[in-house]
Amino acid sequence: MSRIVVTEKLAPRGLEMMAAAGHEVDEQLNLSPEQLLKVVPGAHAIIVRSATQITAEVLDAGADLVAVGRAGIGLDNIDVAAATRRGVMVVNAPESNILSAAEHAFALLLAQARNIPQAHCALVAGRWERVKWEGVELHGKTLGVIGLGRIGALVVQRSLSFGMRPCAYDPYISPERAQKMGVELLPLEELMAVADFVTIHLPKTPETTGLIGKDLLGKAKPGIRIVNAARGGIVDEDALAEAIRSGRVAGAALDVFATEPCTTSPLFELPSVVVTPHLGASTHEAQDKAGEQIAEQIIMALRGDFVPFAVNVAATGVSEGVRPFLDLAENLGRIAASISETVPKRLEISYSGALAGEDTRILTLAVLKGVFAGGEGPVSYVNAPKLAEERGLEIVESLSATTYEYVSLLTIRANNHAVAGTVTGPRATPRLVMLDDHAVEVPPAPHMIVVRNDDRPGVVGSVGTVLGNAGVSISNMALGQTTGIEGELSGTALMVLSFDRPVPDGVLTALRGTPGILDVYAVTAT
């Protein structure tokens, strides 16, 4: 059981999922930074939204942390680099609230264009101000979208149905992709010079902080209106207030502020400014999705599984061609480490056949995860490369389009040992198919022993007798053919035996002392 600290309101379903997975869910809302430092020791995961700052100091205090979960998108409140250095996985819920955020940006756009909050306040205060709150139409207007990612793209779709003409600034998007969305890509200054409305959908990074400042606002089309439902600080609030006062900018709508909570601002005094208190993701639907998605990811992270939305794993995405090999790769790493007498200094990983045409970086991480699984402390896709570096392990990867018998083959060589595996059948079942150049055919199991013996009659029986006398039942067994997978002859035979529980040390010693047995290696899941 792991302890998961939750520092901000999370949808009940997410909390239930983590409790049902057997974890202790420790809800600690509204903590001060000092209180947070006292709560993280002993926690294995922490889940936050945007208000909790996960600094290097917090990560240091949480020496047992395996994962930090962000129930939402923006990661600017998490020191991801510090987490990576400490081997802590950072995971978010990147698609949970994009619709809500896009709808909120559009709501702000309309509210600003038609002065809806201002007119509402006047009317409920008893003032019927029809002339004062005349607005502008969106139809036919140019919308500049800054940041054409998931949310930016949804805003573009909505703008098209309003008859707007969208253009975008995003140096990381190809012109072809933008064209498919019906958007023209423009340099930032040009976008600001032609847009009637601008909406910002960027992450907050050192590069984007203050991006929309005095200089750019000074060059903007007179009468431009600005919406920011991304992150406070991307727009310089003082410069925006000044540009509105001077008349260069006709108005703005903001959901986010440089410092939050924000209850006073020069912008609040301006009648053409519409504001909301960071409500972009505040819908039932988005919160349910964020809660469930982050709970799912944290449960996977604590199990040591591959976590699809981990942002600091040194490989991106997993294709359908690679996914079935993840377990196999980890198991082969575990077996390779178990049969190597000493910690290997060099690990050769070969991807052959169809696998050679895939992005195999995540499989290399899975192999490393398996190699280090028997050591101390949790091993994840994030800290496995760091462990390899610390231990001075040289990793040599190779790709080859050809294989002898299999569509794909993953082979690991370390300390003069070799293991290979593939996946077979309609369910892509992992199979260990070669061990030290003996062909075998056995699914990897949590507890296995590998026995190398003289190739003569009676030895298999002796192994059975030792195990039987000790009351150890075998759940699966494969005998290695004496002809190696690549055709050469070998003077020894090999057995791979699987068990439901670890084989006691005494039984391993007895096997090692049995005539005809040359080596016995135990491969046990941690």
Which positions are catalytic?
A: 231, 260, 278
Q: Copy the structure tokens of residue 475.
A: 């759940």
Report the residue number, 119 or 311, with the smaller CB distance to ligand NAD. Answer: 311
Q: Is 178 in the site for ligand NAD (CB under 6 A)?
A: no
Rounded Cα distance between 511 and 487, Å, is 29
Rounded Cα distance between 160 and 137, Å, is 14
Question: Which of ligand NAD, ligand MLT, none has residue 229 at its interface (CB below 5 to 8 Å by kind)?
Answer: ligand NAD
Report the residue number, 62 or 232, with the smaller CB distance to ligand MLT. Answer: 232
Least Å distance, CB 108 to ligand NAD, is 10
Question: Which of ligand NAD, ligand MLT, none has residue 255 at its interface (CB below 5 to 8 Å by kind)?
Answer: ligand NAD
Classify 468 as helix, strand or coil. Answer: helix
Contacts for 50 with CB less than 8 Å, ≥ 6 apart: 8, 72, 74, 76, 77, 260, 278
Q: Which helix (H) or strand (E) holds 300?
A: helix 284-303
Query: Site for ligand MLT (CB under 6 A): how many residues?
Result: 8
Question: Looking at 43, 89, 101, 388, which residue binds ligand NAD (CB under 6 A)?
Answer: 101
Report the residue number, 209 or 415, with the smaller CB distance to ligand NAD. Answer: 209
Question: Looking at 212, 230, 298, 423, which residue binds ligand NAD (CB under 6 A)?
Answer: 230
Question: Which of ligand MLT, ligand NAD, none has residue 291 at its interface (CB below 5 to 8 Å by kind)?
Answer: none
461-464 long-range Cβ contacts below 8 angstroms, 24+ apart: 462/514, 462/515, 462/516, 462/517, 463/495, 463/497, 463/511, 463/514, 463/517
Taking CB positions, which residue lies at the least distance from ligand NAD?
149
Q: Is 83 in the site for ligand NAD (CB under 6 A)?
A: no
Least Å distance, CB 100 to ligand MLT, is 8
Q: Is 147 in the site for ligand MLT (CB under 6 A)?
A: no
Burial 95-108 (b: 16+ CB within 10 A, else e): ebbbbbbbbbbbbb
Report the residue number, 230 or 496, with the smaller CB distance to ligand NAD. Answer: 230
C-alpha dist (Å) from residue 431 to 329, 393, 425 = 11, 26, 10
**Which sign, positive or negative, has the C-alpha torsion 359, 364, 370, 373?**
negative
Rounded Cα distance between 31 and 23, Å, is 21
Q: Report, in angstroms and rounded to the nearest whole number, the Rg of the chain calculated over CA atoms.
A: 30
Q: Is 50 in the site for ligand MLT (CB under 6 A)?
A: yes
Least Å distance, CB 98 to ligand NAD, is 5
Least Å distance, CB 201 to ligand NAD, is 5
Is 411 within 8 Å of 403 (Cβ atoms)? no
DSSP state of 482: S
CA 211 to chain centre: 27
Least Å distance, CB 25 to ligand NAD, is 24
SS (H, E, C) 211-231: CECHHHHHCCCCCEEEEECCC
One-letter amino acid of 33: P
Question: Looking at 7, 84, 97, 340, which residue binds ligand MLT (CB under 6 A)?
Answer: 97
Report the residue number, 78 or 249, with the smaller CB distance to ligand MLT. Answer: 78
Q: Is 210 in the site for ligand NAD (CB under 6 A)?
A: no
Query: Site for ligand NAD (CB under 6 A): how many residues?
Result: 30
Question: Which of ligand NAD, ligand MLT, none has residue 340 at its interface (CB below 5 to 8 Å by kind)?
Answer: none
Q: Is 280 in the site for ligand NAD (CB under 6 A)?
A: yes
Q: Is 148 in the site for ligand NAD (CB under 6 A)?
A: yes
Question: Looking at 14, 62, 69, 74, which residue binds ligand MLT (CB under 6 A)?
Answer: 74
Nearest to 74 by CA among 274, 300, 306, 278: 278
Q: Is 70 in the site for ligand NAD (CB under 6 A)?
A: no
CA 360 to chain centre: 17
Question: Which of ligand NAD, ligand MLT, none has residue 49 at its interface (CB below 5 to 8 Å by kind)?
Answer: ligand MLT
Question: Which of ligand MLT, ligand NAD, none has residue 98 at its interface (CB below 5 to 8 Å by kind)?
Answer: ligand NAD
CA contacts within 13 A on the Cβ side of 371: 34
Report the residue number, 62 or 280, with the smaller CB distance to ligand NAD. Answer: 280
Question: Looking at 109, 202, 373, 459, which residue binds ligand NAD (CB under 6 A)?
Answer: 202
Tell me which residues touch ligand NAD (CB under 6 A). 73-74, 97-98, 101, 147-152, 169-173, 201-204, 207-208, 229-231, 255-256, 278, 280-281
